[in-house]
Amino acid sequence: DNEEYVGALSKWGMNVGIAFQIWDDVLDIIANEEKLGKPVGSDIRKGKKTLIVSHFFEHASEEDKAEFLKVFGKYAGDAKGDALIHDESVKEEVAKAIELLRKYGSIEYASDYAKNLVKDANEALKVLPESDARKDLELLAEFLVEREF
């Protein structure tokens, strides 16, 4: 029983950890800037390779990839990048890049992927006896992919 419990908790932790990161990447694009505490699209400006970006590059046309790359990573490692985050032209560039991600369903893909990881994580917990602790873990996992910050 102990090995089965350890395996279940290990799977839960791994899946929830990955889901948390993917959801964080989704929030970087869809969240309210004030709630997020950082500018929307900062991962795009910094050139972070996320599941969203990976999905986009697998499905986008060459023309759309080229358009996206005009913004992606443009301010990575650039001290001026932080100063420009509120610049309207930068916001417009990022908004265009986000529209391209939406066009190919990349944001929705990542969101669904994170939610499925949580579903699998909570399914793994079913080998544990029903308890308040198990329910708390399930609720925590669900919260992590529903949060807005």
Confidence of residue 37 (pLDDT cuts 50, 70, 90): confident
Q: What pLDDT does residue 86 have?
A: 67
Taking a C-beta distance cutoff of 8 angstroms, is the pair 149, 35 a contact? yes
Q: In this structure, what is the dihedral angle of CA atoms 104, 39, 25, 133, given to the nearest 10 degrees?
A: -140
Specify the residue for token string 């669900």.
142
Tell me, yes or no, whether 104 lies in a domain: yes
- CATH number for the domain spanning 100: value is 1.10.600.10
Count how many domains the chain has.
1
Tell me, yes or no, whether 45 lies in a domain: yes
Confidence of residue 32 (pLDDT cuts 50, 70, 90): confident
CA angle, 117 as apex, 114 and 123 as ends, to 5°? 145
Tell me, yes or no, whether 42 lies in a domain: yes
Which among 14, 74, 26, 75 is positioned nearest to 53, based on CA atoms? 26
Distance of CA 69 to the CA centre of its chain: 19
Tell me, yes or no, whether 20 lies in a domain: yes
Tell me, yes or no, whether 149 lies in a domain: no
Taking a C-beta distance cutoff of 8 angstroms, is the pair 21, 143 a contact? no
Q: What are the phi and psi torsion angles at 29 (to 5°)?
A: -105, -35
Q: Which amino acid is at 51?
A: L
What pTM was computed for the model?
A: 0.91
Tell me, yes or no, whether 49 lies in a domain: yes
Distances (CA, A) of 21 to 29, 68, 85, 117, 118: 13, 22, 23, 11, 12
Tell me, yes or no, whether 24 lies in a domain: yes
Model pLDDT for residues 50-90, shown as the tens digit of each residue? 999 999 999 999 999 999 999 999 888 765 555 566 678 88
The residue range of the domain holding 88 is 2-144
Taking a C-beta distance cutoff of 8 angstroms, is the pair 46, 76 a contact? yes
Tell me, yes or no, whether 22 lies in a domain: yes
Model pLDDT for residues 3-20, shown as the tens digit of each residue? 999 999 999 999 999 999
